[in-house]
Amino acid sequence: MRDCIVVGAGAAGLSAALTLARARRTTLVIDAGRQSNLAAAGIGGLLGHDRRSPAEFYATGRSELMAYSSVELHQGEASHGVQEDDGSFAVTLGDGRRERARSMVLAPGMDYRYPRLPGMDERWGGSVFHCPFCHGWEVSDRPMGVLAGGAVGVHGALNLRAWSERITLLTNGSELTDQQREQLAVGGVGLDERPVTSLDGPGAELRAAVFADGGELPISALLVKTTLYQRSSLARDLGASLTQPDEMLSVEAIKVDAMSRTGVPGLYAAGDAAASVPPSMATAIASGYLAGASAAVQIAAGY
């Protein structure tokens, strides 16, 4: 019986595990190795690590953890989870192994779902992105598009004006209200309502958005509306409550309180999987710390 199982070894999971390790708690970290930002060339806006390679960041984090003898890192999946009658948690690993702990931190990351247009996947995390605060600086002053409709699209396009004066909202066939059109006009944002069929450009570079009528819009970067869904079934397996994505809050997040507690005794959640705000490395690290500290306090109290 360990003190804690941490599911996920992204920024939140590593942060939670480090906090637990320094509290001298036996901890198993399960790393599926699919951190969402690995496609990006660098981390944007994380103090002390700005523009550092995500892969390098995670390698350093794992190395730091291995300095603590109370931590074990398992490379693989956590396929199923249950809470036992005594309140402890058990997970089944991909190799069939079963592990138990007094507490658990869920930080498995999220499934990022965006329009699957031809040319989108190979540019994801570079010239195509979902967070201007993470990627906007690298594409500053270039002609950019925003692929989204309604209030989300208008808000995203107006916000992106901080990085470039040449912004066009692509509604992909959906219509805007007169008020929304006026907002764009006042904000100096262009508008194109034609359906988008693909993205074009040499290699991973973006040259243009291609429309159904054969026309093109020259752009070098594209902000895309993205909805985040739970990557793992563990939250549902263990009875945690989830938010439901809507037009403005596009995330299926695990509901937690200010100390990363899910409402299921002994179960905590952190990082993208529990974030109701736009995901970032900074917020993931902070929430992982809170989850780890909360678990350590719970273990010390013996409940």
Q: What is the tens place of the pLDDT at every residue in 108-120?
A: 999 999 998 999 9
CA neighbor of 8 nearest in space, from 176, 188, 231: 231
Look up residue 298 and give its two tokens: 């719970």
Of the two residues 158 and 246, the one the predictor is more confident about is: 158
Distances, alpha carbon 159 to alpha carbons 113, 156, 167, in Å? 21, 5, 10
Last residue of a domain, one of 205, 224, 243: 224
Distance CA 164, CA 186 (A): 16
d(CA 135, CA 124): 11
pLDDT over 80 (residue 271): yes
- Which string of DSSP letters, residue by residue, matches 131-183? -HHHHTGGGTTS-EEEE--HHHHHHHHHHHTTT-S-EEEE-TT----HHHHHH
Considering 224, 258, 277, which residue would you say is the last residue of a domain? 224
Do 210 and 255 share a domain, yes or no? no
In the chain, the N- to C-terminal Cα span, in Å, equals: 14
Is the pLDDT reported for residue 269 higher than 90?
yes
Do residues 138 and 268 share a domain? Answer: no
The rounded radius of gyration (Å) of the Cα atoms in the chain is 21
pLDDT, residue 279, reads 84
Mean pLDDT of 93-98: 91
What is the per-residue pLDDT across 144-187, written as a single tens digit (0 to 9) for each? 999 999 999 999 999 999 999 999 999 999 999 999 999 999 99
69 phi/psi in degrees, rounded to 5: -70, -15
Look at the chain and report how many structural domains it folds into: 2
* Same domain? 101 vs 164: no
What is the rounded average pLDDT of the residues 69-77?
96
Per-residue pLDDT at 106: 98
CATH of the domain at 280: 3.50.50.60
**Boundary residue ending a domain (224, 248, 274):** 224
pLDDT of the residue at 47: 93
Strand 128-129 versus strand 196-200 pairing type: unpaired
Using left for φ > 0, alpha for ψ between -120 and 50, and beta otherwise, residue 74 falls in: beta
Q: Between β-strands 196-200 and 208-211, what pairing exists: parallel, antiparallel or unpaired?
A: antiparallel
Distance between CA atoms of 26 and 70, rounded to whole angstroms? 5
Range of the domain at 42: 2-112+227-301
Task: Check residue 267 and give its pLDDT.
Answer: 98
